[in-house]
Amino acid sequence: MLMPLLSDNELRETRCLIDGQWIETEATYEVRNPATGELLARVPCLGAEHAREAIAAAERARPQWSAQPAHERSRILKRWHALILAHLEPLAQLLTREMGKPIGEARAEILYGASYVEWFAEEARRAYGQVIPSHDLSKQLSTVREPVGVVAAITPWNFPNAMLARKLAPALAAGCTVVAKPAEQTPLSALALSKLATLAGVPHGVLNVVLGDAVAIGAQLTANPAVRKLTFTGSTAVGRLLLRQCADTVKRVSMELGGNAPFIVFDDADLDAAVEGAMASKFRNAGQTCVCANRFLVHEAIYDEFAERLVRAVRDLRVGEGSQAGVTIGPLIDQRAKAKVAALVMDALEQGAVLLEGDAQMPGNFFAPTVLGQVNAQMRVAREEIFGPVAPLIRFVDEADALAQANASDAGLAAYFFTRDIARAHRVAAALKVGMVGINTGAISTETAPFGGVKQSGFGREGGPQGLEDYQDVKYLCLGNLR
């Protein structure tokens, strides 16, 4: 393994990256630690003009980068992967400070992000085309896969490292150049990751990072004809807007939007495993993940038992600053997020839900892990993406009821269920209208499998072989007059 090459200070980059130059501007905005309110940095507040420059740089760099043999790009990505691992600890600490998650989860995120870099370094070399059985012996038919061109990547704050790595790695591996716009709340992890990319040998202009006015930058990234693909992870509302904005230039688009994952516990489930899966799925990142269990559908015969066990496990969680040992739940990202989660809990309680565990009196951005009993499908907490450490429990009577409730959502990202019946496992997995299913597990994400949704959770896949294809166009060649 490589030794760290950058000091903590060098890794803590606060400038934007355009055409290989780290740039500062007079206009800046503040980045604060959501646990303490501490000022961490001031970073540039860029607008449409800088976004245009970044796109132009990416367009200039594109021909040479895309023409490199895949193993050259692969080599740079492998070096980037090694550099990320060599800086694991300072990257994790930076992540915890700007985003709030417990340091153990931050380390896991850096490793998870790095796993995509390694995976796509490998996949770059396997971008096979096809020879197609011909309809006419005088013609040979084949396909090749080509990079789509300049890619715009807009990412959220909940996984500031991994959500970006998951887009940059396949884009760069495919031979695309990129303009990235990370979330305003968590720019430091994105800048540090990008700095390591430049250190690994990603050439000038191949990767550009802009921060600032999301609306103005987003408008430029979507309207500019040089950008051939937009990849977005974030809220469904912003995703819809960006989709509309991409229509005029007919861009390729990948959307990883909100979820409303059902977590079904059948009466034949292994309850210990179900509770363990529930804790992993619901409370990781304080419930701020798009694949989080959002609704617990529990068979009426085991409802009381499951509720009791879940509450016991939730009481063992420890809320606090992510950097402190033993803390398992960090703060929510900001006051707006906290107010939204509190409003969902309040709405449920007013409509007859029961507070099985929780504490309304947490300071700052902290929110106590909460379990709500007697929830029904009409309550906001069951219909909206919670994005907080709140577990609503809903009863069901049989498999058909569970499936009807599970699928009664516009979202279709992830679903989880627990059963020991193998026939039921097949039936239910087939019937769930989602992009990803966890069967007897609450943890499904890995770089080797395609991550993505259906319905209003979006389209496109990140990870797996499909993750590379998302950044490639298929070109069909018809070679004629062969005889």
* Catalytic site positions: 256, 290
Q: Is 50 left (phi over 0), alpha (psi -120 to 50) or beta?
A: alpha
Residues that bind ligand ADP (CB under 6 A): 154-157, 181, 183-184, 214-215, 218, 234-235, 238, 241-242
In the complex, minimum distance from the CB of residue 189 to ligand ADP, in angstroms, rounded to a whole number: 13
Nearer to ligand ADP, 442 or 458 (CB): 458
In the complex, minimum distance from the CB of residue 456 to ligand ADP, in angstroms, rounded to a whole number: 13
As a whole number of angstroms, the distance between CA 254 and CA 352 comes to: 39
Sequence-distant (6+) residues with CB within 8 A of 57 are 18, 19, 20, 204, 205, 208
In the complex, minimum distance from the CB of residue 242 to ligand ADP, in angstroms, rounded to a whole number: 6
Nearer to ligand ADP, 149 or 239 (CB): 239
Nearer to ligand ADP, 39 or 215 (CB): 215
Nearer to ligand ADP, 23 or 214 (CB): 214
Distance of CA 354 to the CA centre of its chain: 32
Q: Six-digit token pair at 246? A: 């991409």
CA angle 204/210/214 to nearest 5° reads 155
- Whether the Cβ atoms of residue 96 and residue 333 lie closer than 8 Å to each other: no
Phi then psi for 411, rounded to 5 degrees?
-85, 155
In the complex, minimum distance from the CB of residue 363 to ligand ADP, in angstroms, rounded to a whole number: 22
Nearer to ligand ADP, 302 or 342 (CB): 342
Residue nearest to ligand ADP (CB): 218
- Whether the Cβ atoms of residue 282 and residue 369 lie closer than 8 Å to each other: no
In the complex, minimum distance from the CB of residue 111 to ligand ADP, in angstroms, rounded to a whole number: 23
Calculate the dihedral angle through the C-alpha atoms of 18, 23, 28, 31, rounding to the nearest 10 degrees: 80
Q: Is 428 helix (H, G, I), strand (E, B) or coil?
A: helix
9 CB burial (10 A radius; 0-12, 13-18, 19+): exposed
As a whole number of angstroms, the distance between CA 338 and CA 386 comes to: 10
Nearer to ligand ADP, 157 or 296 (CB): 157
As a whole number of angstroms, the distance between CA 171 and CA 168 comes to: 5
Nearer to ligand ADP, 237 or 301 (CB): 237
Q: Six-digit token pair at 127? A: 């971008």
Q: Tell me the longest C-alpha to C-alpha distance in the chain.
A: 82
Q: Is 294 helix (H, G, I), strand (E, B) or coil?
A: strand
As a whole number of angstroms, the distance between CA 380 and CA 392 comes to: 11
As a whole number of angstroms, the distance between CA 352 and CA 306 comes to: 20
Strands 261-265 and 414-418: parallel
In the complex, minimum distance from the CB of residue 8 to ligand ADP, in angstroms, rounded to a whole number: 25
As a whole number of angstroms, the distance between CA 187 and CA 54 comes to: 17
Sheet holding 472-479, edge to edge: 130-132, 140-147, 472-479
Nearer to ligand ADP, 169 or 238 (CB): 238
Q: What Cα–Cα distance (Å) separates residue 463 from each residue in 129, 261, 271?
A: 19, 20, 31
Q: Is 148 helix (H, G, I), strand (E, B) or coil?
A: coil
In the complex, minimum distance from the CB of residue 409 to ligand ADP, in angstroms, rounded to a whole number: 18
In the complex, minimum distance from the CB of residue 292 to ligand ADP, in angstroms, rounded to a whole number: 13
Q: Is 203 helix (H, G, I), strand (E, B) or coil?
A: coil
Nearer to ligand ADP, 189 or 472 (CB): 189
In the complex, minimum distance from the CB of residue 96 to ligand ADP, in angstroms, rounded to a whole number: 19
Length of the chain: 483
